[in-house]
Amino acid sequence: MNNYMEITKEIIEKIHKKLNEVSPVNYDCGRLCGEICCTYDDETYSNNDLIIYLLPGEEALYDSSESFELIHYDINEINYPHSWKNGVYTVRCINPPTCEREIRPIQCRTFPLIPHIDKNNHFYLIFDESEYPYKCPLINKNIELNEDFINETYKAWRFLLKNRLIYDLVDMDSRKRENKKIKYKKIK
Ligand code: SF4
Ligand code: SF4
């Protein structure tokens, strides 16, 4: 599972294309919660700004976007695996929930599913309520997600895990979850 595949802009665009064909449910789930995952605001969370951590390679899409501000953090500013020695790029959504959907980050496209690797190196998609500072009704009310969304999200993350940095990050988050004995629900 773990090798050194580079993630290029072309790879990101191919993943976007596949994920464009699916969505978590067949209605606008933002109506259930006032689009809280786009607009959540709290001084303990990102200095009042909604920022999304990008996967390596994704930053190439945001050079000239008017909807996203690209921000870079050095490795010593963030709690990330050592392999991320060049730091991490994030985007700040400039006018959420208005969104330039064609280039929204993969973390956003696959939400609310989260990649998880168990101690036997098995990969799953899970719901983890503890991951976010707000309540997503899809998780909270255990709403059934579209099967094609689950399947495409599964394929996308399984492929992305071939990148060393992404694997290390998912592994780090998974170990934290397991060590803290956080309850999560396996979806696939
Ligand atoms: S994914 Fe969850 S938090 Fe985001 S808009 Fe849908 S229901 Fe709300
Ligand atoms: S990228 Fe778009 S969908 Fe994702 S949080 Fe920002 S505004 Fe919302």
Ligand 1 atom at minimum distance from 33 CA = 8
- As for ligand 1, residues whose beta carbon falls within 6 Å of it are 29-30, 32-33, 35-37, 111-112, 136-138
User: What's the mean per-residue pLDDT of the chain?
Assistant: 90
Query: Is it the case that residue 43 has pLDDT exceeding 50?
Result: no
162-182 per-position pLDDT tens digit: 999 999 999 999 999 999 998
pLDDT tier for residue 49 given thresholds of 50, 70 and 90: low
Q: Between the CA of residue 135 and those of 37, 99, 138, what are the distances in Å?
A: 9, 21, 9
Write the single-letter amino acid at 39: T
pLDDT tier for residue 134 given thresholds of 50, 70 and 90: confident
What pTM value is reported for the model?
0.91
List phi, psi (to 5°) of 120.
-95, 15
Q: Lowest-confidence range among 82-91, 107-116, 131-140, 141-150?
A: 131-140
What is the reported pLDDT for 132?
82
- Nearest-CA residue for ligand 1 atom 5 is 30
Can you give the residue ranges of every domain in the chain? 9-186
Q: Is 99 in the pocket of ligand 2 (CB under 6 A)?
A: yes
C-alpha 36 – ligand 1 centre gap (Å): 6
The residue-averaged pLDDT of 6-14 equals 93
SS (H, E, C) 153-178: HHHHHHHHCCCHHHHHHHHHHHHHHH
Q: Which residues does 177 contact at the CB level (< 8 Å), separation at least 6? A: 116, 128, 130, 184
C-alpha 179 – ligand 2 centre gap (Å): 30
Query: Is it the case that residue 44 has pLDDT exceeding 60?
Result: no
Of these ranges, 35-39, 94-98, 107-111, 130-134, the one predicted with the greatest mean pLDDT is 107-111
Which residues of the chain form beta strands (DSSP E)? 51-53, 68-73, 88-93, 114-117, 123-127, 185-186
C-alpha 113 – ligand 1 centre gap (Å): 11
- In angstroms, the CA 149 to CA 110 distance is 8
CB atoms within 10 A of CB 100: 15
Percent of the chain with pLDDT over 90: 73
Of 19, 38, 95, 102, best ligand 2 pocket probe by most atoms within 8 Å of the beta carbon: 38
Query: Is it the case that residue 90 has pLDDT exceeding 80?
Result: yes
114-125 per-position pLDDT tens digit: 999 999 999 999
Q: Is 108 in the pocket of ligand 2 (CB under 6 A)?
A: yes
